[in-house]
Amino acid sequence: MSDGSVDTFPRLLLQHAVVRALHPAIREKDLGIWQTWNWGQVSAEVRALACGLAELGFRRGDSLAIIGDNRPRLYWAMTAAQCLGGIPVPMYQDAVALELEYVLQDAGIRFAIVEDQEQVDKLLECRERATGLEHILYDDPRGLRHYKQPFIKSLDAVQELGRSARQPDFIEREIKQGKPEDVAIMLYTSGTTGKPKGVCITHSALINAARGGCGFDRLTAEDEILSYLPMAWVGDNLFSYAQSLMAGFTVNCPESGETVMTDMREIGPTYYFAPPRVFENLLTQVMIRIEDAGAIKRGMFHYFMDVARKWGADILDGKDVGAGKRLLYALGNVLVYGPLRNVLGMSRVRVAYTAGAAIGPDLFRFYRSIGINLKQLYGSTETCAYVCLQQDGKIKLDTVGIPAPGVEVKIAESGEVLVKSAAMFKEYYKRPDATAETIDAQGYFHTGDAGFFDVDGQLKIIDRAKDVGKLANGAIYAPNYIENKLKFFSHIREAVAFGDRREMVCAFINIDIGAVGNWAERRNIPYSGYTDLAQKPEVYALVRECVEKANAELALDPALCDSQVHRFLILHKELDPDDDELTRTRKVRRGFVAEKYNVLIDALYSGKASQFIETQVKFEDGRSGKVSAELRIEEVKTFAPATAKKAA
Amino acid sequence: MGGGLSNGKSIGDVVLDLQDISLAFGGVRALQGVTFDVREHEIRAIIGPNGAGKSSMLNVINGVYHPQQGTVSYLGAKRHDVNTHEAAVQGIARTFQNIALFKGMSVLDNIMTGRNLRMKSGLLAQAFRLPSAEREELQHREAVEQVIDFLEIQAYRKTPVGRLPYGLQKRVDLARALAMEPKLLLLDEPMAGMNVEEKQDMCRFILDVNDQFGTTIVLIEHDMGVVMDISDRVIVLDYGRKIGDGTPEQVRGNQAVIDAYLGVSH
């Protein structure tokens, strides 16, 4: 790992190119074969790209938009911009033109490096209004042969230009000029409220976060990571970019978004990161396949998963577990857990993290019980995703661990979590007002999360500070907690709970079309699509059963007993980022949803048995249409605390 | 979508010329004196009501049927009656209305069958994995991977075709035909039974194949929107006779075509 003297990302790259020139730096699967670039080659590629950019007029302080799936050349573009003292601004590849346009204008972007035709087309659309955009450079030439505009160029051509036009020492001189306090990257926060803000992060902040994380989990150059999460997300920047450049480990880019499962199995990463929804989807797929399996396999799976649930996590944590139980677990490891880890591509995983949203306890327990060292961390874009980490062997289901090395965390009187560290963002781009609002005079960043330290000094996050409310009878109401309980059921994809200042809790449900569709097929229930399937009485019965189980569990906790769900409905459409109902990281925009479906909430609380709704939706190709349905509303059994034990 | 065609595409010489083709099965006269040509690099659509003789026409082109009357000229030379194998050797590939793939075989293996004609090494050389055979397989595998990449089916390489949804099976069928690197590609209802999104994808792939590889394409299609959007010229058949031929605009305005499609009172 690099020491403190190498203090910007371009310098880190130069160091790897000397120290481990032949060690694999990045891989990409192309035409079915994994192609590898070592650190020496990466350094040469970045150099050519940086020279080419400089030749096109990219100057110190310029921003460079980067849009696309995780591709080696897009990662190189980040370093190339940083070599020249520029600021890479990665954006979400599935953002619509209007969203890109906002960022292009806000950051005053002149250069964009994108993956393919799809992104070029979007930028051409933006360019009519975001007139500052001067150059569009693309990685994949497919379909772009006939684009004759002079400002559209291939990265090949730019690198070629760079190789021929500039002196070899040009880049060294540029890199020398870079300072650790320069802004290394700008990330736009998805913004659950208001317009996105550009979070400016310096080289020194991101490098501090990367060094701390690498030391904490003893990451070395021999580790492998699969990079499949959006480049615009802070987590990918920390794990696939900053930490890789810190420790020198290998980054693997999947072939396409759909092949991630296969690519996981082929690469067998040792270091893995995923937001809870990915773990949830994986588990859903496993459960679907188990339900389709023969009776013997299914029986074996359920028997040994029961064993794992009881003792698996304790064995992983090195706690005292009896020999007989260990033997049974070992047998399960041979028959079920090992093959299951292999199918998930997690056989070699040494450290796995999840963050981004609270993970359902049952989901978390599942992965740990089959022997995957899944841990939680806590952070945000503003804190470089580096605030709290869980230590090996000291894992709790409902905490996010201890403050990471070099980070100071304290709890405000209001219950809000405050953070101070050397891995903190510099400012919101051109928004001194917003910066002053979140960083106080003592230098503490206000996270907006409510939490507290437990007896072992581990931080426990309950919910967003602004979401935590009270029921009409004064009991605490944490909607996220309830929703996570519901979302653990493989049949439920999304849930939105309501209850603040109301006499009871009600909920919207999105079914998981994959899991419920499969369930319906096995029962010969015909359906034409999501809307149709969602309103089937059988599906309502299925979901009601899930909600009742969640209620039974809630009833066990005296503080949350009153949060049981009394009535629910299944929405007629899936909540979708294109309709602004979810953020790009797929968190529910609670306020927006509540406003948009106000009539449904009224129906839930007025005791109606059904409600008609019509909604405008945007399709993937940009067209829009209407979905309408008569939604059924159902009552759910709730439990008194005393009787809950039996039902649970 | 139609914009793709105005991108400076140059239509070449006539590659396939059919003169006065007649085909009958006993008393059923499937084709009666149909004459038309296909030019290099164009997308030529054949449309018409059910039973108009569209599939028969494709079957004549790739040698399944031999017309009782008329001549077929291919690449400038008059063609004698050929069988399907000879037609394939000459560079004519096709996809089928009701998907002709090996359901139990993987996507990869199915597409590999498209390379069959180009394999030089014999059965024994392949069975013993002689170096020459292995080298050849690598070459073919690379060509197949290009097609997989082109049609964006990387995620299904190892999946048995029978387990794929219908729209994807159609895409694999096209991939198998493309793996032959054909000069002339015949598509029999490539979009039948697809939803709107799948149709749009397929349209884009057909236009891309035509554009990137310069492949000449003859296609049968029922979806008029699709036909009018992507074809350069359209021929209309009705009861085995040609009743219209020209650009989509010309055909759309043709009274005989309107009558055939909308019906006319006799």
The answer on A283 and A265 residing in a single domain is: no
The answer on B125 and B7 residing in a single domain is: no
Instruction: Please give the residue range of the domain that contains residue A372.
Output: 276-422+430-464
Q: Shortest CB distance from A32 goes to which of B157, B197, B212?
A: B157
- Decide if B216 is inside a domain: yes
Kindly indicate the confidence band of residue A242, based on its pLDDT and cuts at 50, 70 and 90: very high
**Residue B16: how many CA atoms within 13 Å on its side-chain side?**
23
Q: What is the mean pLDDT of residues A560-569?
A: 90
The answer on B106 and B63 residing in a single domain is: no
- Decide if B206 is inside a domain: no
Q: What pLDDT is attached to residue A617? A: 82
Kindly indicate the confidence band of residue A623, based on its pLDDT and cuts at 50, 70 and 90: confident
Q: What is the mean pLDDT of residues A10-28?
A: 96
Query: Taking CB atoms and an 8 Å limit, are A32 and B154 in contact across chains?
Result: yes
- Decide if B58 is inside a domain: yes
Query: Out of A510-514, B117-121, B134-138, which region has the weakest mean confidence (pLDDT)?
Result: B117-121
Q: In three state form, how does the secondary structure of chain B look?
A: CHHHHHCCCCCCCEEEEEEEEEEEECCEEEEEEEEEEEECCCEEEEECCCCCCHHHHHHHHCCCCCCCEEEEEECCEEECCCCHHHHHHCCEEEECCCCCCCCCCEHHHHHHHCCHHHCCCCHHHHHCCCHHHHHHHHHHHHHHHHHHHHCCCHHHCCCEHHHCCHHHHHHHHHHHHHHCCCCEEEEECCCCCCCHHHHHHHHHHHHHHHHHCCCEEEEECCCHHHHHHHCCEEEEEECCEEEEEECHHHHHHCHHHHHHHHCCCC
The answer on B105 and B139 residing in a single domain is: yes
- Decide if A205 is inside a domain: yes
Distance from CA of B89 to the nearest CA of A (A): 26
Q: Using a CB–CB cutoff of 8 Å, tell me whether B106 touches chain A.
A: no
- Decide if A102 is inside a domain: yes
- Decide if A1 is inside a domain: no
The answer on A349 and A314 residing in a single domain is: yes
List CB contacts (< 8 A) between B152 and chain A: 256
Q: Using a CB–CB cutoff of 8 Å, tell me whether B145 touches chain A.
A: yes
The answer on B81 and B187 residing in a single domain is: yes
Angle (CA) A246 A251 A254, round 5°: 160
The answer on A473 and A452 residing in a single domain is: no
Q: What pLDDT is attached to residue B1? A: 36
Query: Taking CB atoms and an 8 Å limit, are A258 and B146 in contact across chains?
Result: no
Which of A235, A252, A269 represents a domain boundary (last residue)? Answer: A269
Query: Out of A406-415, A419-428, B107-116, which region has the weakest mean confidence (pLDDT)?
Result: A406-415
Q: Shortest CB distance from A143 goes to which of B149, B154, B208?
A: B208
A453 Cβ neighbours under 8 A, 6+ residues apart: A411, A459, A460
pLDDT at position B179 over 90: yes
Task: Confirm if A533 and A442 have CB atoms less than 8 A apart.
Answer: no
| Number of domains within chain A | 3
The conformation of residue A72, written as its DSSP 8-state character, comes to: H
Please provide the average confidence, as pLDDT, over all residues in chain A. Answer: 90
The answer on A237 and A148 residing in a single domain is: yes
Kindly indicate the confidence band of residue A192, based on its pLDDT and cuts at 50, 70 and 90: low
Q: Tell me: the pLDDT tens digits for A158-180?
A: 999 999 987 778 999 999 999 99
The neighbour count for residue A479, using CB atoms within 10 Å, is: 23
The DSSP bridge pattern shows strands A250-253 and A24-30 to be parallel
- Decide if A333 is inside a domain: yes
The answer on A249 and A188 residing in a single domain is: yes
Q: What pLDDT is attached to residue A1? A: 56
List CB contacts (< 8 A) between A262 and chain B: 155, 158
Query: Taking CB atoms and an 8 Å limit, are B154 and A621 in contact across chains?
Result: no
Which of A269, A291, A306 represents a domain boundary (last residue)? Answer: A269
Q: Shortest CB distance from A31 goes to which of B8, B149, B197?
A: B149
- Decide if A630 is inside a domain: yes
List CB contacts (< 8 A) between B154 and chain A: 32, 255-256, 258-259
- Give the C-alpha separation, A568 to A548, whole Å: 11
Q: What is the mean pLDDT of residues A326-335?
A: 94
Q: In this prediction, what percent of chain B has a pLDDT beyond 70?
A: 95
Residue whose entry in the numeric block shows the structure tokens 């996570």: A484
Q: What is the mean pLDDT of residues A638-646?
A: 66
Bridge partners, A225 (sequence order): A251, A271
Q: What is the DSSP string of A599-644?
A: HHHHHHHHT-SEEEEEEEEE-TTS-EEEEEEEEEEEE-----HHHH
pLDDT at position A590 over 70: yes
Q: What pLDDT is attached to residue A642? A: 58
Q: What pLDDT is attached to residue B2? A: 36
Q: What pLDDT is attached to residue A648? A: 45
pLDDT at position A643 over 70: no
Which chain B residue has the Cα nearest residue A262? Answer: B155
Q: Shortest CB distance from B145 goes to which of A32, A143, A145?
A: A32
List CB contacts (< 8 A) between A259 and chain B: 154-155
The answer on A435 and A381 residing in a single domain is: yes
The answer on B193 and B83 residing in a single domain is: yes
Q: Can you give the CATH number for the domain in which A474 is found?
A: 3.30.300.30
Q: Tell me: the pLDDT tens digits for A40-98?
A: 999 999 999 999 999 999 999 999 999 999 999 999 999 999 999 999 999 999 998 98
Bridge partners, B244 (sequence order): B236
Q: What pLDDT is attached to residue A145? A: 84
Bridge partners, A624 (sequence order): A618
The answer on A388 and A521 residing in a single domain is: no
pLDDT at position A287 over 80: yes
Please provide the average confidence, as pLDDT, over all residues in chain B. Answer: 88
Q: Shortest CB distance from B8 goes to which of A146, A620, A621?
A: A146
Q: Tell me: the pLDDT tens digits for A291-325?
A: 888 999 999 999 999 999 888 888 888 888 889 99
Task: Confirm if B94 and B186 have CB atoms less than 8 A apart.
Answer: yes
The answer on B114 and B63 residing in a single domain is: no
The answer on A295 and A188 residing in a single domain is: no
Kindly indicate the confidence band of residue B5, based on its pLDDT and cuts at 50, 70 and 90: very low
Which chain B residue has the Cα nearest residue A30? Answer: B149
Residue A528 CA, distance from chain mean position: 31
Distance from CA of A255 to the nearest CA of B (A): 7
- The highest-confidence range among A392-401, A582-591, A597-606, A609-618, by mean pLDDT, is A597-606
List CB contacts (< 8 A) between B153 and chain A: none
Bridge partners, A610 (sequence order): A632
Kindly indicate the confidence band of residue B4, based on its pLDDT and cuts at 50, 70 and 90: very low
- Decide if A2 is inside a domain: no
- Give the C-alpha separation, A47 to A191, whole Å: 35
- Give the C-alpha separation, A54 to A167, whole Å: 12
Q: What is the mean pLDDT of residues A496-508?
A: 93
The answer on B163 and B116 residing in a single domain is: yes
pLDDT at position B3 over 50: no
- Decide if B229 is inside a domain: yes
Query: Taking CB atoms and an 8 Å limit, are B211 and A259 in contact across chains?
Result: no
Q: What is the mean pLDDT of residues A632-639?
A: 91
Q: What pLDDT is attached to residue B260? A: 79
A502 Cβ neighbours under 8 A, 6+ residues apart: A471, A472, A605
List CB contacts (< 8 A) between B155 and chain A: 255-256, 258-259, 262
Q: Using a CB–CB cutoff of 8 Å, tell me whether B37 touches chain A.
A: no
pLDDT at position A10 over 90: yes
Q: Using a CB–CB cutoff of 8 Å, tell me whether B154 touches chain A.
A: yes
- Decide if A4 is inside a domain: no
- Give the C-alpha separation, A280 to A577, whole Å: 19
With b for 16 or more beta-carbon neighbours within 10 A and e for fewer, the B24-53 pattern comes to: eeeeebbbbebebbbbbbbbbbbbbeeebb
ipTM for the whole complex: 0.77
Q: In this prediction, what percent of chain A has a pLDDT beyond 70?
A: 97
- Give the C-alpha separation, A198 to A235, whole Å: 16
pLDDT at position A270 over 90: yes
The answer on A486 and A460 residing in a single domain is: no
The answer on A34 and A156 residing in a single domain is: yes
- Decide if B204 is inside a domain: no
pLDDT at position B197 over 80: yes
The answer on B108 and B158 residing in a single domain is: yes
- Give the C-alpha separation, A30 to B40, whole Å: 32
The answer on A293 and A245 residing in a single domain is: no
The conformation of residue A86, written as its DSSP 8-state character, comes to: -
Q: How far is CA A531 from CA A491, A542, A615, B119, in A?
A: 15, 16, 12, 50
The answer on B186 and B149 residing in a single domain is: no
Instruction: Please give the residue range of the domain that contains residue B126.
Output: 101-181
List CB contacts (< 8 A) between A256 and chain B: 152, 154-155
Q: In this prediction, what percent of chain A has a pLDDT beyond 90?
A: 66
Q: What pLDDT is attached to residue B125? A: 80
The answer on A492 and A439 residing in a single domain is: no
The answer on B256 and B143 residing in a single domain is: no
Chain A interface residues facing chain B, Cβ-Cβ under 8 Å?
30-33, 142-143, 145-146, 255-256, 258-259, 262, 620-621
Q: Can you give the CATH number for the domain in which A78 is found?
A: 3.40.50.980
A148 Cβ neighbours under 8 A, 6+ residues apart: none
The answer on B192 and B161 residing in a single domain is: no
- Decide if A521 is inside a domain: yes
Q: Can you give the CATH number for the domain in which B228 is found?
A: 3.40.50.300
Query: Out of A9-18, A538-547, B117-126, which region has the weakest mean confidence (pLDDT)?
Result: B117-126
Q: Shortest CB distance from B7 goes to which of A32, A146, A255?
A: A146
Q: Can you give the CATH number for the domain in which A362 is found?
A: 3.40.50.12780
Query: Taking CB atoms and an 8 Å limit, are B155 and A259 in contact across chains?
Result: yes
Q: Is A252 helix (H, G, I), strand (E, B) or coil?
A: strand
Which is higher by pLDDT, A607 or A38?
A38
Q: What pLDDT is attached to residue A594? A: 92
List CB contacts (< 8 A) between A620 and chain B: 197
Mutating which of A146, A152, A253 best tests the B interface, going by the most B Cβ atoms within 10 A? Answer: A146
pLDDT at position A244 over 70: yes
Kindly give the residue spans of alpha helices, DSSP state H, lying in A135-168: 155-165
The answer on B87 and B3 residing in a single domain is: yes
Burial, A625: exposed, middle or buried (Cβ in 10 Å; 0-12, 13-18, 19+)?
Answer: exposed
- Decide if B96 is inside a domain: no
| Number of domains within chain B | 2
Distance from CA of A32 to the nearest CA of B (A): 7
List CB contacts (< 8 A) between A145 and chain B: 211-212
Q: Tell me: the pLDDT tens digits for A116-129?
A: 999 999 999 998 88
